[in-house]
Amino acid sequence: MDPRVGHRGLPTSGASLRARESERGGWIPRAVGRGREREHAAGSSDEEIAMTKLLEDILRQPDELLGSLAYATGDGSSALREAARVVDESDHVFVTGIGSSWHAGMAVRARFDAAGKPCRLVDASELVHYAPFPPNTALIALSRSGRSIEIVESLPKARAAGTRVIAVTNTPDSPLADQADVTLRLEAAFDHQVSVTMYSALTLVGGLVAGCDAALADGLRTGLEASRDAAPEWRQRIDDSHWFDTSAPTYFLARGGSRASCYETRLMWEEAAKAPATALGTGSFRHGPQEVVTDSLRVGIWLDPATLHDEDLELVRDLRSLGTKVMLIGADVSDEAADLVMPVPHMPDGWQFLVDIMPAQLAAEHLSRLRGVDCDAFLYCPYIIESEGGL
């Protein structure tokens, strides 16, 4: 059974999905144009290859997220209100996911923290085997497919404890959605392989459970539209940059909700570029890990617009003084502040994570071409993990 599911939950193969997007004229975003549909492979400058499917997914992401936002605040608003009611009536809130979905949970938790509604983020594998549910708990389960083994196995445990389940998924006919008390649908097209829009849509819809009003929706819409327009500049900055190195050790650092982007970028380095990397909170990096700093290190830092902004710029300066090359992602950042600066649109307070993942996704796709690896295929990882043993 093909696990990819299109809009309205209809099963859709990757090929037919791309054909449908092409028919509606949305596969190559207008902001990018048709002139960049072909890229050069690393090490073979004279040979043109088709735009990677990963790049296609990244470039259509803002429009897909606008669709998810429109659904969540329109036809899906009653389910969103019901999910918020379940949370408000509960004494405890757990958020769970695995892989990209767990990273999305970092952003969701940040939104709940900001709303004064503390929640516990638990990796789904740990949740199944180690974490008991206290009485009167709400579980927000994030899963693009709703079929990952750890998510499925957590459901009987939740039911036995009387825990109410809020499913955030793109698959309304999945085991997760079937057994949930409330289902929040992403209403976006599945990505070809590496999670792109699916990750971002989980952060969006899951984050809205913590609070949503018309002003927030308008601000998110404006920011997403601006991110679509920013894509050509991000790509040009990446193409012109000397930050990339095909074999350099790479650290990603962030604070707050952008930790989700930081950890997700590490996963994209691994999945798409087949390159090892690590991710940490920016503060944690300064408590020992900075001992790895050398002139061969590459560091990516997300700059929070409100918290420790100047202190993190000081960190960037110190790293560069030691020869480390730094990519800096944030709003209103001087081009001279780092070796590669990726400016992002202004977002409503605490929501920068929704767009600051996008330039990093483009960077991961670019590195895959420099390394000469196929970012559109997994060597060992299935699209859905349906057992807990083996590689």
> What's the rounded mean pLDDT across residues 306-333?
98
pLDDT, position 47: 42
From 284, 235, 236, 289, select the one nearest 259 (Cα to Cα). 284
Which positions ≥6 away from 126 have C-beta within 8 Å? none
pLDDT, position 24: 31
CA distance to 128, 262, 264, 283, per residue, from 278 (Å): 25, 9, 10, 15
Structure tokens at 152: 């499925």
On the CB side of 385, how many CA atoms lie within 13 Å of its CA?
20
Return the domain boundaries, the chain. 74-211, 230-371
Cα-to-chain-centroid distance, residue 205? 12
Confidence of residue 314 (pLDDT cuts 50, 70, 90): very high
Residue range 11-50, pLDDT digits in tens: 333 333 333 333 333 323 322 322 233 343 344 443 445 7
Confidence of residue 387 (pLDDT cuts 50, 70, 90): low
92-97 sheet: strands from edge to edge = 120-123, 92-97, 137-143, 164-169, 182-185
Amino acid at 353: F
Does pLDDT of 69 surpass 50? yes
Residue range 133-186, pLDDT digits in tens: 999 999 999 999 999 999 999 999 999 999 999 999 999 999 999 999 999 999
| Two domains, one topology: 74-211 and 230-371 | yes
pLDDT, position 378: 86
Give the whole-angstrom CA distance, residue 42 versus residue 118: 46
Does pLDDT of 213 surpass 60? yes
> What's the rounded mean pLDDT across residues 127-136?
96
From 171, 186, 192, 169, select the one nearest 57 (Cα to Cα). 192
Q: 3-class SS at 46?
A: strand
> What's the rounded mean pLDDT across residues 209-217?
98
Q: 3-class SS at 265?
A: helix
Burial class (CB in 10 A: 0-12, 13-18, 19+), 14: middle
Residue range 78-88, pLDDT digits in tens: 999 999 999 99
CA distance to 105, 126, 134, 291, per residue, from 388 (Å): 21, 12, 25, 36
Residue range 327-364, pLDDT digits in tens: 999 999 999 999 999 999 999 999 999 999 999 999 99
Q: 3-class SS at 207?
A: helix
CATH architecture of 230-371: 3-Layer(aba) Sandwich (3.40)
> What's the rounded mean pLDDT across residues 250-276?
99
Q: Biggest alpha carbon distance in the chain?
A: 64
Q: For the domain 74-211, what is the CATH code?
A: 3.40.50.10490
Give the whole-angstrom CA distance, residue 83 versus residue 73: 13
